[in-house]
Amino acid sequence: MSDPASDAQTDFGYERVAWTDKARRVRGVFDSVASRYDLMNDLMSGGAHRLWKRFTLSCTNLRPGQRALDVAGGTGDLTLGMARQVGPSGLVLLTDINAAMLAQGRDRVIDAGCVTNVRTAQANAEHLPFRDDQFHCVTIGFGLRNVTDKPAALAEMRRVLKPGGQLIVLEFSQLAIPALRPLYDLYSFEVLPRLGQVVAGDAASYRYLAESIRKHPDQETLLTMMREAGLSACSYQNLSGGVVAVHRGYKD
């Protein structure tokens, strides 16, 4: 687990900021976009994010009565899917460091009628407030790239897994088809900020989100980081040509 010096810097998109300041900056982004987050996801991806999450849910191997944790779960798409998988006798914990996003997720969970097998908690992925060996599956969907200390978060998610439990990371990644990158860059840096301005009134936050994807570790690097965090049988699968990837690893 990394232990950065107090004067260390990290990436906030393409900007370099103090290590201790990134969480505050990310919080500002999601405070701004929380109320339009789901709508923007549909518009940005043409609805593909729903297919990516459906694939992620197909990987959980959860059974009725089991326990799952959705880290940086935001508005709760993966939480609701896992709640259906574990059934009324199971339990899913929805966590997010951002209060505005967690409030959106809590409202969606209640509206969906999941009041007995879902709990919510505001929590930092780098310091999860749970005992060791608690969950059969831990997911983090489109959240890891916003974490300051990614090795610490991976180690924490492994810690709270039960032996034999699985961590699943769904995240934007690096295109596997280099010829498409200019078109993808045009969409990311020209279309997305304008869409964010029109729909959410915030172009800067969506410019950051595009930049954060480019700064996130690529597929092979993240695979190595998961192994270094102590996870075994690690693998990944590209979706939509590497626009996103699903990484999986297990706790021995």
Contact call for residues 166 and 219 (beta carbons, < 8 A): no
Nearest C-alpha neighbor of 138 from the set 128, 147, 148, 146:
128
Q: What is the pTM of this model?
A: 0.93
Query: Hey, CA dihedral for 41, 218, 12, 8, is it positive or negative?
Result: positive
pLDDT at residue 86 in the model: 98
In the block, which residue shows the tokens 């410019």? 207
pLDDT at residue 199 in the model: 87
Q: Residue 132 has which token pair? A: 């060791």
Give the integer Cα–Cα distance in Å for 96 and 186: 31
pLDDT at residue 69 in the model: 98
Nearest C-alpha neighbor of 121 from the set 151, 87, 98:
98
pLDDT at residue 7 in the model: 67
The fourth-level CATH superfamily of domain 18-176+207-250 is Vaccinia Virus protein VP39 (3.40.50.150)
Contact call for residues 97 and 22 (beta carbons, < 8 A): no
How confident is the model over 51-66, as pLDDT tens digits? 999 999 999 999 999 9
In this structure, the strands spanning 9-12 and 135-141 are unpaired
Q: Residue 133 has which token pair? A: 């060996």
Q: What is the DSSP letter of 76?
A: -
Residue ranges in the chain whose pLDDT is less than 50: 1-2, 4-5
pLDDT at residue 5 in the model: 47
In this structure, the strands spanning 91-96 and 118-122 are parallel
Q: Give the three-class secondary structure for 241.
A: helix
Nearest C-alpha neighbor of 159 from the set 48, 251, 45:
251
